[in-house]
Chain A
Amino acid sequence: MQVRNVWTVRAMVIVAVLFAALMFSPEHDARPTGISSVDDGCRCHSLTPSNEVVASITLANGSALPENYEPGATYALLISFSGGPAEDNNPERVNTGGFNLVASKGTLTPIDNTTQIFAGELTHTEAGNDQQAWNANWTAPDSGSAVLRLMVNSVNGDNSASSDDSWNTVSYTVSGAGGEAPTMKANGLTVLFSGILLTAILFAIALTYVFYVRDPESFSWARFKPWITHWLTSTDHKSVGTLYFVSGLFFLGVGGILAMMIRIQLSSPGNDFLTKDEYNSFFTLHGTVMIFLAAMPLINGFANWIVPLQIGARDLCFPRLNAMSFWLQPAGAILLLTGMFSGMGADVGWTGYQPITSTTDHYGATFWLGGQVLLVASSTLTGINFIVTIATMRAPGMGWMQMPLFTWSILVSVMMLFISIPTFGIGLIEAYLDRTISTTFYNTAAGGDPLLWSHLFWYFGHPEVYVVVVPAFGVISEVIATSARRTIFGYRSMVYALAGIGFVAFIVYGHHMLTSGMSPLLRFVVMLTTMLVAVPTGIKIFNWLKTMHGGSLVYRTHTLWALGFLVTFTLGGISGMFFPAIAMDVHLHETYFVVAHFHYVLVGGTLFGLFAAFYYWYPKITGRMMSERLGILHFLTAFISYNGVFWPMHKLGLLGMTRRHHTYYIRADEYSDIIGTLPPEAAQWNYFITVCAFIFFLSNLIMVYNIIASWLNGRKAPADPWGGWSFEWMVSSPPPTPSFAEIPTLLNANPDHEPGRLTGMLERIMTPDPGDEGEEAGH
Chain B
Amino acid sequence: MSAKIMGFDAYNFNFFWLMLLTAVEVGVVAQSENMAWATLVFVLVSIGIVKFVGIAAVFMHLRFSPDSNVLTATALFPVIFIVLLVLMVGLTSPSAVENLPAFCRPGYYGL
Contact = CB atoms under 8 A, between A and B. Distances in A.
Interface of A: 419-420, 423, 449, 451-452, 455-456, 459, 506-507, 509-510, 518-519, 521-522, 765-769, 772-773, 775-776, 779
B93 A449 contact: yes
Given A521-B106, A521-B111, A769 B89 contact: no
Instruction: Return the 8 tightest CB-CB contacts between A and B, nearest first.
Output: A772-B66, A768-B66, A766-B70, A768-B67, A455-B89, A766-B69, A521-B106, A419-B81
Given A419-B81, A779-B1, A768 B93 contact: no
Nearest to B111: A521
B88 A459 contact: yes
B69 A522 contact: no
A506 B77 CA distance: 14
B81 A518 contact: no
A449 B90 CA distance: 12
Given A767-B70, A768-B66, A506 B81 contact: yes
Given A769-B66, A776-B66, A779-B1, A510 B78 contact: no
Given A419-B81, A423-B89, A455-B92, 6 more contacts: A455-B89, A507-B84, A509-B88, A765-B69, A768-B67, A776-B65
B85 interface: yes
Interface in B64-111: 65-70, 73, 78, 81, 84-85, 88-89, 92-93, 97, 106, 111
17 contacts: A419-B78, A423-B85, A423-B89, A449-B93, A452-B93, A455-B89, A459-B88, A510-B88, A518-B92, A522-B92, A765-B69, A767-B70, A768-B66, A768-B70, A773-B66, A776-B1, A776-B66
Contacts of B78: 419
Contacts, number: 49
Nearest to B2: A779
A510 B87 CA distance: 12
Contacts of B84: 506-507
Contacts of A766: 69-70, 73
Interface string B13-57: 000000000000000000000000000000000000000000000
Contacts of B2: 775, 779
A390 to B, nearest CB: 13
Contacts of B65: 776
B92 A768 contact: no
Interface of B: 1-2, 65-70, 73, 78, 81, 84-85, 88-89, 92-93, 97, 106, 111
B47 to A, nearest CB: 27
A419 B65 CA distance: 26
A578 B1 CA distance: 58
A510 B85 CA distance: 12
A772 B67 CA distance: 9
Contacts of B70: 766-768
B63 to A, nearest CB: 13
A302 to B, nearest CB: 25
Contacts of A772: 66
A459 B85 contact: yes
Contacts of A776: 1, 65-66
Nearest to A503: B80
A510 B88 CA distance: 9
Contacts of A459: 85, 88-89
A201 to B, nearest CB: 45
A522 B85 CA distance: 14
A423 B88 CA distance: 12
A320 to B, nearest CB: 22
B67 to A, nearest CB: 4
A451 B93 contact: yes
B92 A456 contact: no
B74 to A, nearest CB: 9
A308 to B, nearest CB: 21
Contacts of B85: 423, 459
Contacts of A506: 81, 84
B101 to A, nearest CB: 17
Nearest to A387: B74
A767 B85 CA distance: 30
A426 to B, nearest CB: 10
Contacts of B1: 776, 779
A455 B88 CA distance: 8
A775 B65 CA distance: 10
Given A419-B78, A506-B81, A779-B1, A452 B67 contact: no
A510 B68 CA distance: 36
Contacts of B92: 451, 455, 518-519, 522
A510 to B, nearest CB: 7
Residue of B70, B78, B97, B111 ringed by the most chain A CB atoms within 10 A: B70
A519 B65 CA distance: 47
B69 to A, nearest CB: 4
A356 to B, nearest CB: 20
Contacts of A765: 69
A779 B64 CA distance: 13
A455 B94 CA distance: 13
Contacts of B89: 423, 452, 455-456, 459
A449 B97 CA distance: 15
B111 to A, nearest CB: 6
A779 B88 CA distance: 46
A420 B70 CA distance: 22
Nearest to A769: B66
A775 B66 CA distance: 10
Contacts of A423: 85, 89
A419 B78 CA distance: 7
Contacts of B81: 419-420, 506
A779 to B, nearest CB: 6
Contact of A768 (B69, B88, B97): B69
B34 to A, nearest CB: 30
Nearest to B1: A779
Contacts of B93: 449, 451-452
Nearest to A778: B2
A463 to B, nearest CB: 10
A455 B92 CA distance: 9
A423 B106 CA distance: 27
B79 to A, nearest CB: 11
Contacts of A767: 69-70
A522 B65 CA distance: 43
Nearest to A522: B92
Contacts of A779: 1-2
Contacts of B111: 521
